[in-house]
Every structure is written in structure tokens, then in C-alpha cells.
Amino acid sequence: MAKTVAGKTSRRKGQSSGGGKRSTGGALAAVRRFLLRAVIAFLAVFALYVAWLDAVVTRAFDAHRWTLPSRVYARPLDIYAGRPLTVDALLAELRELGYREVAAPAGPGEFAIAGSGQSVRLVTRGFAFPDGTTRAQRAEVAFSAARVERLTAADRVLRLEPVVIGAMRPQDAEDRVLMRLAERPPFLVEALFAVEDRDFPDHFGVSPRGMARAMFVNVQAGEVQQGGSTLTQQLVKNLFLDSERTIHRKLVEAIMAVLLEIHYDKNTILETYCNEIYLGQAGQRAVHGFALGSQYYFGRPVQELKLHEVALLVGLVKGPSQYNPWKHPDRALARRNVVLDALVATGAATAAQADAARAAPLGVVTSPRLRLNRYPAYMGIVREELRTRLSEDALAGDGLAVFTALDPAVQHAAESALARTLATVETAHRIAGLEGALVVSVPQTGEIEAAVGGRDYDFAGFNRVTDARRTVGSLMKPVVFLAALQRPAQYSLATFVSDGPVSAKSQGGTTWQPKNYDHVSHGEPPDHNVMLVDALANSWNLATARLGLDIGVDAVIRQARALGVEADLPPYPSVLLGSATLSPLEVLQMYQPLASGGLRIAPRAVRGVLAADGQVLLVRDTRTERVLTPATAFVLQHAMQEVLRRGTARSAYNVLPAEIDAAGKTGTTDNARDSWFAGYTGNHLAVAWVGYDDNRSTELSGASGALRVWADFNARLPQVPLSSVAPAGVEWAWLVPGGTARSAEGCAGAVRIPVIAGYVPDKASLCGGAGEAVEGVRGFFQRLFD
């Protein structure tokens, strides 16, 4: 019985033990199933995460890869024998282009001064212009008396490449400088590989061997000389990640690097790296890419860098602040030499090449600055013109080449004149905060050579050239006189008009009663008659108002429209004295036909646009419309020359030679809120404005403010005098005051003025005595044979 019980008990124990094993095995199986599911879930989540990273990488990388900015160029400088040009002007152009002064020019972008400072030897750079490609060539330019005396070159005309004045995407105005791999200087890629990623051609985004080698080199050197991250990883960090140093971020960086290598070839990755790498800080602007870094540190295109310069630029990749060549030149020099040693170690450079590079100085510019988009007012005009003249599809194209008419010498003269004159005027009048604008064009073509939108001309803020619409005041007076001179049977410059009190009904039934600036009526009472030429030269309001009312306000407005004014012109008598509001650029348009001899030409900044493939998208707008006869334009010009000879702008000849015989008009508005001057010589039409942005009184007239800016500007440049040769359809005549009869030189009150042919009075006056008789006989025979 006991045995039986024991046996049963034993079996029960066995059964109980077997059930425990099954229970344990089930638990383990459950754990395994859980772990398997967890792994599968993790892999699924990881796969989704990688897929998300993949989408982020491709989308963002494509945006960086294909966004090529448009480059904006100034006019090219053409050099030929006999051209008016000083040696200083040529040197300034070369330095603006980043040419290096050397003892003996050997390569493109180098020059030397010879011949006791009156000769320049240089090697030009080739360039693709819309009308053909110029090749790099050696040349020597000799100067004498502010002219090119001799040009020794392969071509009769030596054309320098144009200065880059901006790089932008016209749609959003972002400026960038990019480098194609084909444009890289020698040793750049090899230096990058040598110190940053020797396995780049072979790895798949990450390099375990590279990390191990970097650790070994750094331990041996006792400092960090090589990084463990590949170029691809560095690019990922720059494009997609922040500077956080965590295991998670490093893992994400590695994954993204592998994904990048899967989608893109090595050259694409390398080119993007070269354009995105951070190389320093220029004020508030980060310096990214070797092309921009070359401009910033060396002031030259990256293609022209020598070995010692390339080594310094690549050395900065490790730490631009730590190796800043201006703040820490010793550190920068040591880092540059580390790069040179690495080039020798990898066989990319010979020991002799490295030794020569070590002996060279750092070679950075004395004063660092980025020279792109230095002319914000002018660039604003360019952007607006591109938006109005090109389609959205054309503007969306990458890598456009935009050629403009900007003349760097004229632009610099305009900038200096405005800044200096405003400071001088403020000191003289004990005021502060004045602002101004200056815009310059070529009279014969309408091309805009310069634009300065404020005294802080590098500041890309409010562009007063295009956006400051101010009351123009007396700048409207030439339009009134022009409308009268279009009626030569009624008006000549000698015709009388009353400068006595005048009134007229105006808006809302009010009475308009203008006053002269000096509150005096000129001319002999009671009529106060003055000649038209005197009224314009002295800017007499009453005479101008009387003349405008006589010919009609509508006729004056039509005349302004013919000159190109599109802004609102109120049809009230006050418009005769300049109650309209125009921007300096709009004033330039109004005066362009006066300066060009009667041709209406829309002011243009853009000469042409090329697509990246060389297709011409836009050509120079050469359309003109004759709105004045050359004869009428010449007659008005004579009166505007009198403004400077003896009128309100006579002080200009305190700083300018009277021989240039310029023409122009001062403008002063009510309460002296605006000071204007618009005037031209044979080669420059310029409009200057001075005032306060809040429209308060400046206490300045046109002569004491804007005229000084205009005169200072013209004094800085060679000027071509206005021609004194009358065009066909003009006769010079001595007339009596009032213009009703011919007179003669020496007769009392006689004036010599240009008159539209066929409208010289038949009647001759007698001066008295023998002189009268002689003149009478002379007049008889002149009329007989005329």
C-alpha cells in the first residue's frame, strides 16, 4: 500500500516537474516572441525614420544643388589709343576687378606699373560677352595728358572683363557666389582630401578607416590635425543639422551621409561641399563656399588662387575663428603649413612646391569686405527692370548673366560726392540728419551709370532714387518755357513776360497767388517785364506762372507727358511751379530729352541678359522717340546754360571749370523742404535731391544743397563740354529786349540768343549815331541776301 502510494506520489511529482518545465518554456517563447515583435517594430520604425530622412535629404539637397544665382555685371572698360582715361582711373578699375600688382605680370589678373607711373602692363582675363568671347592677353597701356597715348596688345581695342556688382536670384534677391568643380584652382580638391577626407573617392559616406587614421595622427601630434568625419558627413551637418554633439546626432549624420551617397555621385557631393562650407563671418553675413571665401580673404576669383592661398583657405575649414588670418596670423600660418605638409605626404604636391608656398606671406587683403551687392540703389533699379522686362519663366532660370551700364568710376564719384557734401552742408548750416539721392545717366543713350539712394550708400534700405517721391518745385520750370518755345512765332528767349503779381482760380475755387523766392517783382514797373531767358536763369516764379497761364496749364502738362512724365500731374495752376511729386529717377526721365537734343529715351540700367546656356534673353533697349526738334532743344539749353553762367546755379563754377558750359536747373520747394538740381554736361546727366525723410524744412535752397552735390560729383570726373555749335534750324541773333527787333553787339540792352530759323524779326532797331546807320545798312544787306 505504501509502495503504491509512494509510486503515485512519485508520479505526481514527476508530472508536476514536467508541467513546470513546460511553463518555463512557454515564458521563454513568449519573451522571444515579444523581442522578435519589438525588433520588427523597431526595424519598421527605423525604416520609416530612414525613409523620412531620405526624403528630407533629397528634397533639401536638390534645393541647394540647383539654385544658381544670377550674376550682375557693370559695363566693361574698353581701352584704345586716344581714349580719355587717366592711369589712376585704370588702376582703380583693375583693383576693383581684383587684379594683383606684381613685379612682372605672368598670369591673368596681374598687373605692374611701369614707365615712371605712366604705363601699365597687365594680363587680362578672358570673358564671354553677349557679342562674343574675349581671350586673355598681355597688354601695355601708356598714358599722356589724361589720355591713352599707346596701346600695345593683340587687339586694337582691349576690353577688360566687367566688374561683378552683384549676385542674386531675381525672384527673391538672395545673393550667392558658386563655384563649379571645373573652375577650381589647382590643389584645392587635393588639399581637402589630404586634411579632411583621404578616403572620399572610395567610401560610402562614412569611413571607419578614416576615423581610425585621424585618431592615430591626432594622438601622435598631440593636437587635432585631422577630423574623423568624412566630407559627406560635414556636408550633412552644414545642410541639415545643428552643432549639437550627441550620439544620436552623430548617428543621424552617418545615416544621412550614406543616403546622400546613394542618391548622388561623388562630384555632385564634392561641388556642393565646396559651395556650402563655412569659412568665416563678414559682419552679419556668413561666408559660405570657397568662391565667396576667395573674394573675402583675397579679393580675387577663386580660379586665380595660388598654392599658398589655397592651403590657407582649406585650413580655415577646421575653424575660421580660431585661424582668422587677421586676428591670429601666427595660427593661420601654422595651419596653412599643416595643409602643405599633408599635400606633400599624399603626393599631391612636391616638397619644392610646398617650400615655395611656405615662404609666401598669408596674402590676405588688408581690409576684408565682401564686394558683392555694394550698390543697393542701383541693384534695386536692375531688379525692377528685370521684373518688368522678363517673363517669370525667364527670371526663374538659373545662372543668368545680367549686363548693366553701371560705371564703377561714376558710381564711386557719386557716392563720395553725396556723402561728403551732406556732411559739409550740415556743418555749415548747423543741422543734422540730412539725406539725399543722386542718379546719373548718359545723355545720348539714357543708360543709367550710377545711382546712390542715401548717404549710407552701402545700406540696402529705402531707395530714394526710385521711391522718394518729392515735390519737384522749380525743376518744372524748363517744361513751362519749353511749351512756350514750341510756339516760335510768339516766343523767343528775348520775349517779355510780366514778373508782376499774378493770381488764378485753383482747386475748390480757391485763389492761387504765388510769390517770388525773394518776395520782389523784377523788371521795370509798372509792367515788370522780364525776358524769358532772365526769368528762367533767375528762377522767377511770377514770370513763370504768368507764362504758363498764358500758354495754358493743359499745354504744359502735355509737354511734360511728351518728355516722359507718367506720374500724376494735377491740372491746376500750381503745377506750373512744381507742385507735382516725382522721384529722382522720374526727374531724370523728364530731363533726358532735354540733354539728348530732343530724343526721348527711357532710362535703362540693363544692357542684356544671357541664360546659363548662352541664349540671349534680353538685349539693350535702343528705342527712341523724337519729342523735340534739335533746334528747340538747343534754344532751351541756352537758357539752362544761363542758369549756371549767371543765374541761381552760378556757384557751381566755384568748383567746376566754366569751359564745360553745363546746363541745368535748381529746384526749391515750399518751406525749403526739398533741395533739387538737375543738370547735364556733354557726357553726364545727373539729378540730385537733398532733404529730410520726414519732410520737414531743410532751410536749404536748390543752390545751397543739391547743386553742391551735383558740382562735387562732376568735379571728380573728366567732363565733356556741351557743344556750342548750333544744329540746323537755329540762327544766332542780336535782339532788343522783348525780341521784337534785331539789334547789334554793343547796342544798349542787346542780347545775343539762338532763335528758331525763320523767326528772327525782320524789323531792325537803330542804336543811335553812326553805329545805328552802319547797323541799319548791315541789316538791310543781311535781309537782302538771307
CB atoms inside a 10 Å sphere around CB 731: 15
Contacts (Cβ under 8 Å, ≥6 apart) of 58:
259, 263
Instruction: Quickly count: other Cβ atoms within 10 Å of residue 784's Cβ.
Output: 7
The residue annotated as part of the active site, out of 119, 207, 474, 675, is 474
Alpha helices in 171-265 (DSSP H): 188-196, 208-221, 231-240, 247-263
Provide CB contacts within 8 A for 355, sequence distance 6+: none
C-alpha 729/C-alpha 211 separation (Å) is: 86
What distance in Å separates the CA atoms of residue 685 and residue 593, rounded to the nearest whole number?
11
In the block, residue with C-alpha cell 528762367:
536
Catalytic position from the list 110, 161, 196, 385: 196
Rounded to whole angstroms, how far apart are CA atoms 491 and 483?
A: 10
Q: Compute the chain's Rg from CA coordinates.
A: 38
Helices 307-315, 290-298: inter-axial angle, 10-degree rounding:
110
H/E stretch holding 690 reads strand 685-691
**Do the Cβ atoms of 230 and 197 come closer than 8 Å?**
yes
The answer to whether 371 touches 299, Cβ cutoff 8 Å, is yes
Question: CA of 668: how far to CAs of 84, 474, 675, in Å?
Answer: 36, 6, 5
Helix or strand holding residue 231 (H, E): helix 231-240
Cell numbers 591626432 correspond to 218
Rounded Cα distance between 778 and 273, Å, is 86
Q: How far apart are CA 77 and CA 94, in angstroms?
A: 10
Residue 582: phi and psi, rounded to 5, are: -135, 155
> What are the start-end ranges of the E strands in 115-201?
119-123, 127-129, 132-134, 138-144, 147-153, 158-159, 164-168
474 is catalytic: yes
- Report how far apart the first and last C-alpha atoms of the chain are (Å, whole number): 168
Residues with catalytic roles: 196, 474
